[in-house]
Structure formats: structure tokens, C-alpha cells
Amino acid sequence: MSETIVDRMRAAAGDLWGRAMTHASAGSEHNQRLEFLGNAVLNLAIADHVHEHCSEREGRLTVMTNFLRSDRVLSEVGMRIEIEKELKLGNGVEVKAASSILAGAVEAAIGAVFERNGYEAARSFVEEMVLTPDLLQRAEEHQDPVTELKELVEAKRWKPASRGFDEMLGEKRVFYRAIELNGKAVLGMGSSKRAAEAQAAKLMLSAMNDG
């Protein structure tokens, strides 16, 4: 029977594996500190990879990085490698498909490997689990125009003007977000403030790209 990635991580983590797989609900010797450490190592490994292999501007790199390190993606990774079979949970605590418990366990495992075998060993597991072709493709396709515009504005030290308002159209409330930046003006609309803000940011990014 071939070795799984969990088998190899368990060996690399050594005596820290038990703690890495112990949820806070299961006792005082739990994985929260290793989770904190693993989160930092994960962020660095993802940033290293994205910086080296992707030619997108800073705002897009931030959006991609945020997607890859999200609880949603890490919990999916945890399900893929079946890390839930290793977990020690307190009474009444259950692991669900999109659970932050799974994401935390993945981060704690990375932290334990880093503690016992250093950054390169931990990074190799991040590359194998998270920086896969399918997840990188999804990261490239992932859209977060609000964050992307914010990163661009901060990098250029621009000062946009923005205001929001809403109105009732029939029985529905419609939200608007107006943005003015460098002589360009756009108006986004949506069924919520967030949706209006996202559309306005997307329109402004498009306007900036068009010159």
C-alpha cells in the first residue's frame, strides 16, 4: 500500500503530530499554536510561489493569494487528503465539509512539519496540497474586484472619491456605489451594498485598463 501525503506529513512532524491533530475541544494540549505557525508558513509559501510564477499586477496577486489561503480552500484540501481521520475532537464536535476545523488541521500539520524539519520541508507539502494545477487555475479565475482596486489605489497612492446611496424601485431596494478616480467616474448597482461596491470596483478597473 503506497504512502499517503498524511503518512509523510506524520513522519515529518514527528512527536508534534498528535498535538497538531488535537482540536481545542479535545483537551489542553491542542493545535492552536501550531495552527498559528502553520498559517504564517502557508502564507509565505503561497506568496513565494505566486510572486515567482505569476506575472499579474499586485492587486491580482493579492486576490489569488487570499483565495488559496482561505478556509474554503484549506478545508477542501483537508477533505482531499482525508485529514479528518487523524483528528481528535471533543464530545459533540463534528467535522463538516466546509469546516474551519479541517482548515485549522491542515495549517497545524504544516506548522508541525516546519517546527521539526524547517521551511523547505513545509513548503514542499504546501506545493503538493495547495499549489496544485486545479487550485491555481481557480485562483487565477477568482474575482475580487474590491480588493484588487484597493491594492491598486494604495500602490499608486491615489485618492478616490466614493459614495453610496439606495432607492426603492417598486418593492425592491437597489443599492448604488459611485467611484471617481483620476478623472474617471463609474456607478455600480446591485441588490446589496456589497454587490454594488463590487460592480463599481469592476467597472473602475476596466476603465483604468482602457486608459
Alpha helices (runs of H) in 82-161, residue ranges in sequence order: 100-129, 133-141, 145-156
Structure confidence at residue 211 as a pLDDT band (50, 70, 90): low
The predicted pLDDT at position 175 comes to 94
What pLDDT digit, counting tens, does each position of 106-121 carry? 999 999 999 999 999 9
> What is the Rg, in whole angstroms, of the alpha carbon atoms belonging to the chain?
21
What pLDDT digit, counting tens, does each position of 56-78 carry? 777 778 888 989 999 999 999 99
Look at 15-24, 63-72, 148-157 and tell me which has the smallest mean pLDDT: 148-157
What is the rounded average pLDDT of the residues 89-97? 80
Cell of 140: 487565477
Question: Cα separation of 71 and 157, whole Å?
Answer: 31
**How far, CA to CA in Å, does 146 sit from each of 42, 57, 196, 200?**
24, 15, 10, 8
The predicted pLDDT at position 149 comes to 83
